[in-house]
A = this chain, B = another copy of it.
Amino acid sequence: MSTPINLDHIRDAAERITPYAHRTPVLTCAGLDEMTNGHLFFKCENFQKVGAFKFRGACNAVFSLSDAQAAKGVATHSSGNHAAALALAARLRGISAFIVMPKTAPPVKIAAVKEYDGQITFSEATKESRDETLKAVVDKTAALYIPSYDDPRIIAGQGTAALELVEDIPDLDMVIAPVGGGGLLSGTALAVKGLSPGTQVIGAEPEGADDAWRSFQAGHLVTIDHPRTIADGLLMPLSQRTFEILRESIKGIVLVNEKAIIRAMRLVWERMKIIIEPSSAVAIAPLLEGDLDTRGLRVGVILSGGNVDLENLPWNTT
């Protein structure tokens, strides 16, 4: 399957979401530069609306719809940031958002969806129940299903973060982003390759959810049975679509272990005084642990989000 997504789609997405999304800042940190012997540029999607890059894709998808397509609202299943992102995007467009969430979703995520006027239907915490519940919701409402990552509009939207990063910071040697389902990394790779073909793109993945790494090793899409990681934004598997995009456009996948994720997260909190979620720390851990040699290099890092439960921080509970 070849990809129909290119730099023009990402530029269109950027134009489409500009009235609604933040152009997030790019921060630097002398302390982290010293530790990595590199020059790190952090694209702060933790400061994005709803606290994560997910708003970019959801916003692009919702505002891509014709009035007829949008009339009945949009629907999705998600226990995380995509749910809140779609709810907010729909509210901004003035349409309904129907969100299927597992009963086990964290209260803080449920509250976020409600805050943005998303209409929640709870399912059991299984894929079967989730899919059935979503189907029932769509059948009843005729709302349009917007997937969380396996969708060209979503991928193009997520690519706008890297588009801004490369516009702001030219001559990057490398861009690194976390990989779960691959929507963010695919969009990042397409934007970077389009604007700055000499820049390497690397995906960072937790060891406990290493389907992308395994897929790259095998040369075909591999799924794993029970992904487990503190980086709960990265539990979803690659799709055939995102795998194909990544295979054509990134340099490789680097794995990080749970302790390294927590160390990186804490270090950023302490040094940069910004709140990042574990999924963001996944992109920083390989730089700090020496798994990537960044000596003298200019490295862009996509900080994917900042939604954490402040009462259950990993250094207090492990």
Contacts and interface: CB of A to CB of B under 8 A. Distances in A.
Contacts of A315: 310-311
Nearest to A305: B273
Interface residues of A, number: 19
Contacts of A311: 315-316
Interface string A307-318: 000110101100
B310 A270 contact: yes
Interface in A260-291: 266, 269-270, 272-276
A51 B273 contact: yes
A133 interface: no
B266 A47 contact: no
The 7 A-B residue pairs with the shortest CB-CB distance in the complex, in nearest-first order: A273-B306, A273-B275, A46-B273, A274-B274, A47-B273, A269-B275, A273-B274
Number of identical monomers bound together in the oligomeric complex:
2
A266 B313 CA distance: 14
Contact of A25 (B25, B46, B266, B310): B25
Contacts of A272: 47
A61 B279 CA distance: 42
A47 B31 CA distance: 12
A310 B276 CA distance: 14
9 contacts: A27-B47, A51-B273, A266-B310, A273-B275, A273-B276, A273-B306, A274-B274, A311-B316, A316-B316
A43 to B, nearest CB: 13
Contact of A310 (B27, B51, B269, B306): B269
Interface string A41-66: 00000110001000000000000000
